Structure 1
Amino acid sequence: MPKQRGTGALLALLAFAQFISAVDYNIVYVALPEIGDAVGFDAHSLQWVISAYAVAFGGFLLLGGRAADLLGHRRMFTTALVLYGLSSLAGGLAEDPGPLVAARAVQGLGGALLLPATLSLINTTFAEGAERNRALAAWGGAGAVGLALGSLLGGVLTNYLGWESVFFVNVPLALGATAVAFGVIPKDPPRERGRGFDLAGALTATVGFSALVFGLVQGPEAGWGSAQTLVALAGSALLIGAFLAIEARTAHPLMPLRLFRNRSLVTAMGVTFVFMGTFGSQYYFFTVYLQNAHHYSAMATGLAFLPSALMGMAGSRVSERLLAATGVRNTIVIGLLLGAAGMTLLALAMSPSGGYPALLPGIVAISLGQGIAWTAMFAAAATGVDARHQGIASAMASTTQQIGGAVGLAVLIAVATSGLDTATGPALVPGLRTAGFTAAALTLAGVAIALTLRRPARQTAARPTEAKTPARVP
């Protein structure tokens, strides 16, 4: 199939957008103590600097995915980056907790619009198979580097320029990428007639999934039996149930339920749920271990994440080769098993008096596994999906990813703090180790889910049909 002109520049832009999003996800962690002191957060409310982003991101993903399919990939891509840039500026200028939390929520909305648009552009530009796998590897590698460099950059900026700089740095990056997008991404075609927008589905899905993520992130702080947690979770169940009922009846659903017949997509949704709940939580616990248990500075904590960036990028390249040699199923399994081994090694290396070198084997294994699994699970999510539904399919996998992150972090925080009230310093280490072992065990559930994918031999037989997947931006 002929390759579309300009795809190299397009892929570079999409990878850069993923880098920005990944940096933004992690850059705030290292700056949290300074943000809390300077802006006036107390110990209980500080988590909302992180949680506000997660709630908005998880709640708006399905809406963002359908908007990319219906309104245009370039239009939603540039809108998302503008939201990122402006909300980052507002976050850096915030002087009180309320405006800062609001700015983080808008950043989450930007992320919910950006991720499906980015994946849609990849999945409709590059042919399913080796070509798309190479593109996803580049995109995933940029994300892995961004996650780790976010911590490093956060430490450097916080140390030398203050906490505000972790927000301001996103402004030129996001707005610069927006300007480039108009010259690199093809203009959106006229909206296809006959494809309506499911307003009722959009409202119930957005509010329902936002309430679900809110309840999950609020539970550890407010208590799982508290009124606000129970109301949020019960409300989310009712709204998500209403959303599914609407989708079964409407002529133009936000999320066509027939997509659940795609085994590869459904399996990818299960894997992303487990992946984010286990791999995604490692950044939080590693930061707590370094800063709270061993009193690392923001700068030293950032530098400690540098090996993770290098290994994550290497893992993405390894994933591309494994996908070609062994198929999606085996690549996901290898990545998850490697990550589980790394979590075990990292937990074993944690101690009240241990040094950083002892942590390196675990960091290397986790980061390699992350890069391998990340690329493969999004390759699985796109397999066999019509070009018109790539945005919503990507959003479905990303929604389970965000919910998994909230569930996993809530569970592992409960494990880490079990029996502790106000423990700090070395007293935190036993709980952190237990959380690491628990995360490794839970990762094996992801392996079991991945094994439900078709065997590589059957995937190979299907490749002539897969070649029919559109490979050009409409």
Structure 2
Amino acid sequence: MTTSRTDSRSGTGTPRLGWALALLAFAQLIISLDFNIVFVALPEIGAELGFTDQSLQWVVSAYAVAFGGFLLLGGRAADLLGRRNMFLLALSLYALSSLVGGLAQNSETMIAVRAVQGLGGALLFPATLSLINTLFAEGPQRNRALAVWGGAGASGLTLGSLLGGLLTGWFGWASVFFVNVPLAGAVIVGALAAIPRDRRAQERRSFDLPGAVTATGGVTLLVYVLVQGPESGWTSTGIVVSAAVAVVLLALFTAIEARSRDPLMPLRLFRNRSLAAGMAITFIFMGTFSALPYFLTVLFQNVHGYSALQTGMAFLVPSLSIAAGTQIGERMATRTATRATLVTGLVIGSLGTVVLAFGVSADGGYGAVVPGLIVSGIGQGITWTGMWIAAASGVDGKEQGVASGMASTTQQIGGAIGLAILIAIANSGIDGREGDALRTAMADGTQTAVFVAAAGILLGALVALTLPRRAATRHAPPADQEGAAETAAGEKAGAPTQA
């Protein structure tokens, strides 16, 4: 078997692969932006579209529930129906739903739009990640590609708040939706030219409809419970019933997968230590690191009185820090091991988050939180790159889609659980407070939540210690896409590329 080679200066192979990587990274940026881009615009959306205080959360929650619920289905669809096909379909959903969202005139339309955007994300994320993992050979080549892709994704989590603030301040809330239309359209056009067509399957494989129905229903209800539970009350009838049905459906799903000849999610994949640890770390990552922008938004707007534009600008520092961290993570993973990379990133991230917490106060200025934002952001970037390298290691190419779906499902569930816990902690002392007393209580609650997040990040470092000291790396060529022969030929010719 011929081993795939890359140009040493770029590490991405042929110019065609360089363009493909740029498009995949840009698509990941779009996904990440949508997590947080609406946060800063929520007050204007609520006021103009007639949301109540109780229903406004569903502008965020509808996206999270649909995204988390359909990820496994999206991953398997990428494996069976084609990664490029699902990539294009998902981007089209994003563009169309974003256009409708910007034109929305009532709360019901907005919630429906956000659910469709979440579905688009559930199809797009595993398709994008599995394209990275199949177009680029495992080892240094894939690590570099994941660093570029990861830099876009991790930075997008905070860049969403930056862009949301700028757009809302300059053009109004609708612009946070309209911006996705030209972005997604440009990626679709580029993908038609740069991403290789899907190869026709060499074997007939079923879609495992019973597994798809039970997994999608169970995970969707589970995410719904985690998102709605703090608002409705954990003992309310709707939450208790939804939780019980979710448990039954997920139990049925496990039984179906254990007996299926062609399962939606092969249970044997859990024997892959790297994938299992990667899933656990993505769970912790989203419940800690990715909750920080929410609390920073509360601190900047509700405590310090920043405008939407000022709040957006405040996220520039963590965005740049995270981008730098992803590049450090790639170099560490290539030169040392994924385990050392993740332990280092998580320890740095935990220490930085502690420093950030000490800077949170009702009377402190922006300068007080900048050191923590920088150190925590670098740790977050290192971790983001390393955890996706871990989740892809040792997984067969034909199962990269479902492996990506598994990792990203735990990511979404972790985000819902972590945010629910941290919000409950932060809000525990604000009842009955007004004026300066309320500002002080919100700042104190935010500080406590950030300290708890730092402890959770450190727990992730302990999980990372379960990874092999140095995973066995298979430098196999990216052979499951049409055009692989063309890629290999270009690499033999030493064609330089710029990512």
Moved more, 35-44 or 383-392: 35-44
CA contact (8 A) 2:79 2:400 kept: yes
Percent identical: 58
Structure with the bigger percentage of helix: 1
Q: Does 1:337 align with 2:321?
A: no
Cα deviation digits, residues 284-328 of structure 1 (max 9, x gap): 000011111111100000000001111111001100111122210
Cα deviation digits, residues 36-88 of structure 1 (max 9, x gap): 11111111211111111110010000000000000001100000000000111
Task: Pick from 413, 418, 430 the counterpart of residue 423 of structure 2.
Answer: 413
How many matched pairs? 468
Query: Which residue is equivalent to 2:357?
Result: 347
CA contact (8 A) 2:32 2:160 kept: yes
Q: CA separation in 1, counterparts of 2:360 and 2:200?
A: 56
Cα deviation digits, residues 193-231 of structure 1 (max 9, x gap): 321111111111111100000000111111111111111
Q: CA separation in 2, counterparts of 1:42 and 1:285?
A: 21
1:165-204 → structure 2 map (5 Å cutoff): 165-204=175-214
Cα deviation digits, residues 313-360 of structure 1 (max 9, x gap): 100110011112221011111111111112211111111110000100
1:129-278 → structure 2 map (5 Å cutoff): 129-278=139-288
Task: Pick from 109, 119, 143 the counterpart of residue 129 of structure 2.
Answer: 119
Post-superposition shift, 1:19? 1.0
Query: Which residue is equivalent to 1:445?
Result: 459
Task: Pick from 477, 481, 490 the counterpart of residue 473 of structure 1.
Answer: 481
1:29-178 → structure 2 map (5 Å cutoff): 29-178=39-188
Query: Which residue is equivalent to 2:374?
Result: 364
Q: CA separation in 1, counterparts of 2:454 and 2:22?
A: 34
Q: CA separation in 1, counterparts of 2:233 and 2:376?
A: 31
Query: What is the RMSD computed on CA atoms of the aligned residues?
Result: 1.3
Q: CA separation in 1, counterparts of 2:96 and 2:202?
A: 31
Cα deviation digits, residues 173-195 of structure 1 (max 9, x gap): 11221121111111122234321
Moved more, 146-155 or 315-324: 146-155
Query: Which residue is equivalent to 1:432?
Result: 446
CA contact (8 A) 1:335 1:369 kept: yes
Distance 1:210 1:422, change over 3 A: farther
User: Which one-letter code corresponds to 2:309 in the other structure?
Assistant: M
4+ residue segments displaced more than 6 Å: none
Q: CA separation in 2, counterparts of 1:234 and 1:419?
A: 31
CA contact (8 A) 2:199 2:481 kept: no
User: Which one-letter code corresponds to 1:67 in the other structure?
Assistant: A
Post-superposition shift, 1:420? 2.8
User: Which one-letter code corresponds to 1:120 in the other structure?
Assistant: S
CA contact (8 A) 1:40 1:96 kept: yes
User: Which one-letter code corresponds to 2:203 in the other structure?
Assistant: R
User: Which one-letter code corresponds to 1:451 in the other structure?
Assistant: L
Q: CA separation in 2, counterparts of 1:341 and 1:408?
A: 19
CA contact (8 A) 1:387 1:469 kept: no
Post-superposition shift, 1:380? 0.3
User: Which one-letter code corresponds to 2:115 in the other structure?
Assistant: A
Distance 1:261 1:170, change over 3 A: same
SS at 2:44's partner residue?
helix
Unaligned runs of 5+ in 2: 7-12, 483-499
Query: Which residue is equivalent to 2:294?
Result: 284
Query: Which residue is equivalent to 1:17?
Result: 27
Distance 1:187 1:422, change over 3 A: farther
Distance 1:472 1:11, change over 3 A: farther
Cα deviation digits, residues 89-141 of structure 1 (max 9, x gap): 11111111111011001111111111111111111111111110000000011
CA contact (8 A) 1:121 1:473 kept: no
Q: CA separation in 2, counterparts of 1:261 and 1:442?
A: 25
- TM, length-normalised to structure 1: 0.96
Cα deviation digits, residues 381-440 of structure 1 (max 9, x gap): 000000000000011010001000000001101111114325443321111111111111
Q: CA separation in 2, counterparts of 1:289 and 1:232?
A: 33
CA contact (8 A) 2:199 2:480 kept: no
- TM, length-normalised to structure 2: 0.92
CA contact (8 A) 1:294 1:426 kept: no
User: Which one-letter code corresponds to 2:455 in the other structure?
Assistant: A
CA contact (8 A) 1:293 1:427 kept: no
Distance 1:29 1:157, change over 3 A: same
